[in-house]
Every structure is written in C-alpha cells, then in structure tokens.
Structure 1
Amino acid sequence: MAFIVFMTIPGLVIGLVAFAVLDRAGLWAHRSFRLPWRRDEVGRPVSAVAVGELDAFFHGTHRHRQDQRNSSLMLRDEENDAAPPRTRVDLAGGIAVVRRPPDSV
C-alpha cells in the first residue's frame, strides 16, 4: 500500500520532504557525534539532489539548466579565450603593455 501512495505526486513530495528531514537530522548527528557510517559533508546533500530532480521533472528548462551547468564544469576556462592579448605584464623585466581596444563606431 505504501508503494502505491509514493507513486502519486503528493505521496512522492511527502516522501521527499520526509527524506530531507532525515538527511538533515543525520547531518546534525554527524556534526555532533561524528557518526562513523556518514561521510564528511562534500557537495550537495542527497535530499537537495532528489528535490532538484523532481523540479526538473516538472520544469523542462530546469533540466536544460542542469545539463548546461554540468557541461560548463567540464570545460576548461582559458585566460585569453582565443582573443588577441591587450595587456601583458612581465614581472621579471618590469614591463607592462596595455593596448586600448579599437573604437567600434
């Protein structure tokens, strides 16, 4: 019977809220008593991931935003980004070169 209740949308939301409360209580207990079976807090809590997935199920743009965030985390952030360098600082030589961008009119 409980399986059928949690297969409905309100039952799923109630289950996720109960899971979030249990997750936060476990985090509090781990901080207070250093429970050996819990890992240290790294990243997002499991309950936040579950609620995020539920939100992505109902809002398609949220799924797109999550995919975009995941792909941007894998890309390397280049300093120059293939643009011609306008400033160059040589600390060893004591020289700094600063070029003004061309006027766009």
Structure 2
Amino acid sequence: METVLTWGVPGGVLSVVAIGVYDVVRQRRRRRTGRTLSATYLDEVTAMFYGTKRVQLDHQESMSLMREEDAQGAPPRTGVDLDRGIVVLRPGTTGRPADGDR
C-alpha cells in the first residue's frame, strides 16, 4: 500500500506526459483542432484538488452551449427607427422572433 501512495503522484505526472505526447502525434497526423485529451485530463485532476476549478469548468461548459445574441457584436437583423419612421429588414431573416424575443 505504501508503494502505491509513493508512486501515485509521479505515476500521474508520467501518464499526463505520455498522453500529451500521444495527443501531439495524433494532432499532427490528423491536423485536428480543439481540446486535447491531456488538457482535459489535467483540468480534471486540478478540479479534484481545487473546487474553484470545477466551478470554472462548469461555467465554460455552460457558456459553450449558449447561443450568441445580437448584442454580442453581430449587427441586428432588424431595426426600427421610431424617430424617422423607418423599419430595416436585412436579407436572411426568417420573420420569426428569436427564442429570447417572445
């Protein structure tokens, strides 16, 4: 039992390095982009020791699932200028309100 505890942390570090090397080789062959397996593993190990890391990972996951709104930099698809009495409709609109506009 003592041997397992002694080699637990170094074994974990060596496994992260081995997974990282595997990820680098795999990404170069497939030219993949995105999150690597070693980064995910390291985040999960860090979250095991720091509760705030788990909160950060959960927040990142929830933000990745949210859709982008018009207020986040995209020009609005429709616009109403009450002062001039003009309504602007841009091509590509379906005429249906977005989920947040109902």
TM-score of the pair, normalised by structure 1: 0.53
Q: Distance in 1 between matches of 2:22 and 2:64?
A: 30
**RMSD, matched Cα:** 2.9
Q: Distance in 1 between matches of 2:38 and 2:20?
A: 5
1:44 maps to a residue whose letter is R
Aligned to 2:15, the other structure's residue is in SS state: helix
State whether structure 2 residue 44 is matched by structure 1 residue 22. no
Query: Can you list the C-alpha shifts for 1:42-81, whole angstroms capped at 9, x where unaligned?
Result: 421111111111121121101101101112222344436x
Name the % identity. 30
State whether structure 2 residue 47 is matched by structure 1 residue 56. yes
Q: Which runs of 5+ in 1 are unaligned?
A: 32-39, 81-86, 93-105
2:40 maps to a residue whose letter is V
Q: Distance in 2 between matches of 1:19 and 1:54?
A: 14
Q: Distance in 1 between matches of 2:18 and 2:35?
A: 17
In structure 1, what is the equivalent of residue 11 of structure 2?
11
In structure 1, what is the equivalent of residue 35 of structure 2?
44
Q: Which runs of 4+ in 1 moved over 4 A?
A: none
1:21 maps to a residue whose letter is V
2:17 maps to a residue whose letter is V
Which structure's residues are more often helix, by fraction?
2
TM-score of the pair, normalised by structure 2: 0.54
